[in-house]
Structure 1
Amino acid sequence: MTDSETTPVDGDPLGHLIRRYARPHSRRFVLGGAGMGLSQIPGRVPALLVGVALDAIFLERERYSLPLVPQSLIPEEQAGQVVFTITLLAVAFAAEAVLSWLGGRISGTATYRTLHDVRVDTFDALVGHEMGYFDDRQTGDLMSVLNNDVGNLRKFGDASFRGLRFLLQVVVSFAFMALLHWQLAILLALMPLVLAGLSYWYAVRVEPRYDAVRETIGTVNSRLEDSIDGITTVKAFTSEDDERDAIRDVSARYRDDKWAVIRLRLAYNLSTWLLASLVFIGVFAAGALVVMGDVPAFVEPLSAGTLVTFLFYGKSFYAPIRQLMLEVLDSYENALASSKRIVAVLERTNELDTGDEDGELSVREARLDYEDVAFAYDGAEEATVEDVDFTADPGDLVGIVGPTGAGKSTIVKLLFRFYDPSDGTVRIDGTDIATVSRRSLRRHLGYVSQDPFLFYGTVRENVAYAVADADHEDVVAAAKQAGAHEFVTDLAEGYDTHVGERGGRLSGGQRQRIAIARAIMREPDVLVLDEATSHVDNETERQIQASVDALGAEQTTIAIAHRLSTVRDADQIIVLDDGRIREAGTHDELVAEDGLYADLWRVQVGETDALSDSFLDRVSEGEEVVR
């Protein structure tokens, strides 16, 4: 993703996500935080009990007394005091465990519900973007946003609750220390000021490093996905070493970026550890002087047991501060880098929700009109198609042919509004498709590409993909229309046969016919076949052609073909060249016209001796006129 697309919302992308997604679950977050907070009170009691027991029971220098506990409840005998102490320890540990468990359970539920909402909305926004958005990005990078970046928000949520627990532990510990010896407590309170300075130094330096890490992990994911998806090509070209080198390079970049973060974290960790160690030594030294009485008169006295308790609390005070600064700050910077990428997806204009396109398309006859249509891709100096003007009458089969790069597939993309025309209008039954919602438009269209994508699952699930609650009879009927039923019933488990990832267990022709059945299942008013026979043998092509012919009377069909035999019987054939319509007519009319179509036909039937001089000149100049 480019820098321009990671612009924070109001300068605070993480805060934006929290306000948008965590606020609906605020009650659970508050209850979870309250449980964690309350657990810190019984969690500090054991240290107090140990100190009191040391002075009163073992050293016998102080009377056994506890704050807020009536003296009448405390046994006078030493054995009774031991039992009393053990009982209070058990109650304190149990109360801490229960409150901590409740707080963690409630806050965990809120966290994962929030992350679920973020991931679903991010995916919804992602699939709603215009096709140009995906042209500029690798799948691995987008997967990194949905998995790694959303996962970093989870880590930040977990760290935030740990941070809350640490913070409450610090507050409660300081309160207990102040009750024991307020002067030593004030001395210990100077530590957070120094830690705040160290944390600011760390935060300023680590943020850009985390940005680099998030970008690099997306590159690593993309490269890995390419190598794994293309493993057949890799092996066929014996390019394993090249791929290994490429993975090594991107992995090395990630290693270096990540190591830069770790080095900074280690430096910060060492600094805070040294500070905590010095504080512990200082508090012990000061407390020891007070216990021995070698201090000025205005300093409050301190017993050995109280000093031990104070040191326990001191550990509970500065250790959480150190963890709070390191863990929460570290996860915050990581989540901040991820939130920029998530917000870039969420806040980009969604093609399905733009403009005044609220109309619902109503199709009566499925008459299709292209009126002076032109289109150029972003950044392109020349138009891909220009002055495209033709009509497909209801129920017609219209073939679109031409050399590679002539703009055939672009015409179909404009029909589906994957892109909008730069000029001109596309109409269905007289309605400008730019005035209706994309969802409404696409519900009336069926599409079969030259390399159809089958989802991991069964044949039945793939045929019924676009129809909710489709019954078996409808699936079989669509498969029969597509000429797929016969081979499906020969499969080991029939319609319940798993097709494998991307349909890898089926042949190219079988995938094509299932894709046609999937399109038929939707009962489209306009069916588009985008070079649907480009990767199949002649026998399979004839089977697919028979399926298309059988469907011809039921909807308007647009067939893009490089095999002219596929559209030989079309009601109209449009010949594109260099983005413009050069010829139009039936097969016989175009052959008789003796133009570009006639030359393309001669190439496919092997009559190369009869090719025109102009066509031969194009071939000699290296132009790819046929595939």
Structure 2
Amino acid sequence: MTESQFEPPDHVDNSLWLLVRRYARPHALRYVLAAIGTLIAQIPQRLPALVIGVALDAILLQDTPYALPLLPDGWIPETTTGQVQFTIGLLVAAYVLDGTMTWLAGRLEGTARLQTLHEIRVDAFDAVVGHERSFFDRHQTGDVMSVLNNDVSNMNRFGSNAYEGIRLSAQILVAFAFMLTIHVPLAALLALMPLLLIGLCQWYTTRVGPRYERVRESVGRVNSRLEDSIEGIATVKAFAREDAERDRLESASRSYLDRNWSVIRLRLVFSLASWVIVSGAFIGLFSLGAYLVLEGTPAWFGGSLTAGALLTFLMYSQSFYAPIRQLMLDVLDSYEDALASSKRITSVLEGDHPDRNEGRELTVLEGRLEYEDVSFTYEGADEETLTDVSFAAEPGSLVGVVGPTGAGKSTLTKLLFRFYEPDRGAIRIDGTDISDVSRRSLREHLGYVSQDPFLFYGTVRENIVYGVREFDTRADAPEIDHADVVAAAKLAGAHEFITDLEDGYDTQVGERGASLSGGQRQRIAIARALLKDPDVLVLDEATSHVDNETERQIQRSIDATAGEQTTIAIAHRLSTVRNADQILVVDDGEIVERGTHDELVEQDGLYADLWRVQVGDLEAVSEAFLERARARFGESAQRRVTEEIETTEEVSR
């Protein structure tokens, strides 16, 4: 697994700003109103310091008259008591206005930010499921989950800090404006301090950005390790590999720890350096201000400075220094972290999503399926998996596909569903090349049951109707009659065991169907496919986890419904496809034999040997077949053939 799994396309210059433009812009009005409200709130927030400074000089020290900028003198009471009451009134009004504007701005920003993040998460998920199977071959599930969860959530942190950055910027501007009203030269000197911080920021961002990218990658690897270990817990325990899994997780977690610590170390240096600059500036400001108050202000350095004015100026300087430092520590830091996350999100959003391609709708009238000279090689493989495969399945027919493990049987169906595209050749349904239609339209006409079916967390009924209703909660979603669900379950041989469950069709199946046996999960998956009533039904070793009695029941159901849809049945148990209209024998990616069961047994080729093995007629197995087994399995070939015979349950003849 490489460290550059999620890289944005070349046309994306800045992933973060792409997300901002695409998802924040529709909510721009709320963001703008929130920013305006935040800016307005800074004015009453700064008033108390100014009022207290004036009151200190005019009421307590009685050095200067009570006067406030932009406030007519006629509004100010003449008596001391009146001025105290007036001061209290101003403070109350300032805090009420501050609280009101801050609440309104926070509400506007919060709703806009959460809606923005919601849209990013939904679109990112939509993009992930829009990718083809090759995408999931290249990326571990845990790493993909890290993008959808950790990286999108990281954008929420950035959004919150970005709003905080607007508030801090407004606070800096308003505080500086108030300081200018008190003493222009001191404010001008104070304005030089941010230049040092800007240089420090430049040094920090060039170093922390790449470190955050490595941290995001490490989070994905930790999630992948956790996902593998938890999902494979039965295998872990069966092989007593708990300690080994712990070591693998420890290694991934250690990498995350080391990379995260490298960010923390750099941030500590950055924090200390900015603290030294800000603290030094404040001490210098106090020293200069105290000197001017005690010794008097030179004429060339502006007007006089009183003790109250100095106190107010120092309070404003804290509202100037602290936000600048917080901007650098929190906002800038979260920006660099979010930039790393945005690259991973953008790589998913802007990648190639073949499921979204604009193709015409597929119309199926009969369901004739045709493969013409189809060849395919998996990415990174040295040899072709399929070579010049050609066959036709007539409407309503049952076509069995058999052959040794690894012969390419399942790949045939993956190409039919367009999980992968063939290198050469064409696949047609009713004469229409499936590459000319949209994938979604194609798959609406197909049904699929794998040898290891996936059940969703929910009830038995919800899993059976999934292929038709997809848990759709829309008002116009089609309602499925329970009688249809029962009919599909009966066809799949599932109704009897379902009714024996504690809650019948309303029984919770657990995570991935954990409360059911493998055979029960298989039959529910078959019922799900049959309820969909597809034009082409694919059974990929769908009876591999059921007993002989259930297999015979499913076989009768397949035979009974074969005339209603075209069925492709990949089978390890040859008895499953014994009554097929046509059986294809696949070996090393090629169709080496074809015909009915009786015809293939009569040909006395590979199929005949496979049949003899399954029915236990070891004496009649050809020497060529045994030699082939020895070439594949070595000296243990005879034992392996014998074991397969012993473990194969009695089949219907």
**Which stretch shifts more, 407-416 or 341-350?**
341-350
Distance, in Å, in 2 between the alignment partners of 1:42 and 1:4 is 47
1:47 & 1:295 partners in 2: Cα distance? 22
How far, CA to CA, are the matches of 1:473 and 1:535 in structure 2?
Answer: 26
What displacement does 1:3 show? 5.8
Tell me, in whole angstroms, the C-alpha distance in 2 between the residues paired with 1:516 and 1:207: 50
Deviates more, 1:203-212 or 1:512-521: 512-521
With normalisation by structure 1, the TM-score equals 0.97
Partner of 1:365 in structure 2?
366
* 2:242 maps to amino acid: E
Separation of aligned partners in 2, 1:494 and 1:561: 30
Of the three residues 93, 99, 103, the one matched with 1:91 is: 93
The aligned residue for residue 470 of structure 1 is 479
Q: What residue in structure 2 maps to residue 447 of structure 1?
A: 448
Residue 338 of structure 2 is matched in structure 1 by 335
Tell me how far 1:534 sits from its aligned partner. 1.5
> Are the aligned partners of 1:531 and 1:562 in contact in 2 as well (CA < 8 Å)?
yes
2:554 alignment partner, one of 544, 551, 556: 544
> What are the residue-to-residue correspondences of 1:509-588 with 2, within 5 Å?
509-588=519-598
Match of 1:276?
278
* 8 Å CA contact retained: 1:352, 1:437: yes
Q: Following TM superposition, where does structure 1 have runs of at least 4 consecutive aligned residues deviating by more than 4 angstroms?
A: 623-627
Q: Which residue is 1:461 aligned to? A: 462
One of 100, 115, 127 as aligned partner of 2:129: 127
Does structure 2 retain, via aligned residues, the 8 Å contact 1:32–1:106?
yes
Match of 1:392 in 2: 393
Change (3 A) 1:3 1:523: closer
User: May I ask how many residue pairs the two structures share in their alignment?
Assistant: 625
Instruction: Show the counterpart of 1:316.
Output: 319
Unmatched runs of 5 consecutive residues or more in structure 2: 470-477, 645-653
For the Cα contact (< 8 Å) 1:366–1:393, is it kept in 2? yes
Q: CA RMSD in A?
A: 1.5
Q: Residue type matched to 1:302 in 2?
A: L
Measure, in 1, the Cα distance between the counterparts of 2:217 and 2:479: 42
In structure 2, the partner of 1:78 is 80
SS of residue paired to 1:6? coil
Once the two structures are TM-superposed, the CA of residue 541 in structure 1 deviates from its matched residue by: 2.2
CA offsets, 1:160-211, max 9 Å, x none? 1100100000000000000001111011111110000000000000011011
CA positional deviation for 1:490: 1.8
Does 2:183 align with 1:173?
no
For the residue of structure 2 that corresponds to 1:373, the secondary structure is strand
Query: Which residue of 2 is the match for residue 40 of structure 1?
Result: 42
Which of these residues, 590, 595, 601, is aligned with residue 600 of structure 2? 590
The one-letter code of the counterpart of 2:109 is S
1:203 aligns with 2:205: yes
- Deviation digits for residues 562-603 of structure 1, max 9, x if unmatched? 111111111111000000001111111111111111111111
Report how far residue 294 of structure 1 moved. 4.5
Q: Does the CA-based 8 Å contact 2:24-2:116 persist in structure 1?
A: yes
Question: Is the contact made by 1:293 and 1:301 (CA closer than 8 Å) also made in structure 2?
Answer: no
SS of residue paired to 1:421: coil
Please say if 1:345 is aligned against 2:355: no
Question: Cα distance, 1:555 vs. partner?
Answer: 0.7
Residue 256 of structure 1: how far off its partner (Å): 0.4
Q: Which deviates more, 405-414 or 544-553?
A: 544-553
CA contact (8 A) 1:39 1:99 kept: yes
Residue in 2 aligned with 1:231?
233
- Name the counterpart of 2:295: 293
Give the Cα–Cα distance (whole angstroms) in 1 for the partners of residues 79 and 385 of structure 2.
97
Measure the CA separation in 1 of the matches of 2:226 and 2:60: 65
1:152 aligns with 2:154: yes
Distance 1:614 1:333 in 2: 65
Q: Quick check: 61-70 or 151-160, which moved more? A: 61-70
Structure 1 residues 452-506: Cα deviation after superposition (integer angstroms, max 9, x where no partner): 0011111111111122333233322322222222222221112211111101111
2: CA distance between counterparts of 1:482 and 1:89? 77
Paired with 1:9 and 1:434, the residues of 2 have a C-alpha distance of 27
For the Cα contact (< 8 Å) 1:43–1:93, is it kept in 2?
Answer: yes
Question: In structure 2, how many angstroms separate the alpha carbons of the residues matched to 1:62 and 1:20?
Answer: 56
Q: SS of the residue aligned with 1:345?
A: helix
Amino acid of the structure 2 residue aligned with 1:120: V
Alignment check: 8 A CA contact 2:45 2:98 kept: yes
Q: Could you report, residue by residue, the CA deviation over 1:69-114 in whole angstroms, capped at 9, with x for unpaired residues?
A: 2222222222222222112111111111111111111011111111
Q: Partners in 2 of 1:508 and 1:547 — Cα distance?
A: 19
2:493–2:553 Cα contact (<8 Å) kept: yes
The separation in 1 between residues aligned to 2:492 and 2:621, in whole angstroms, is: 36
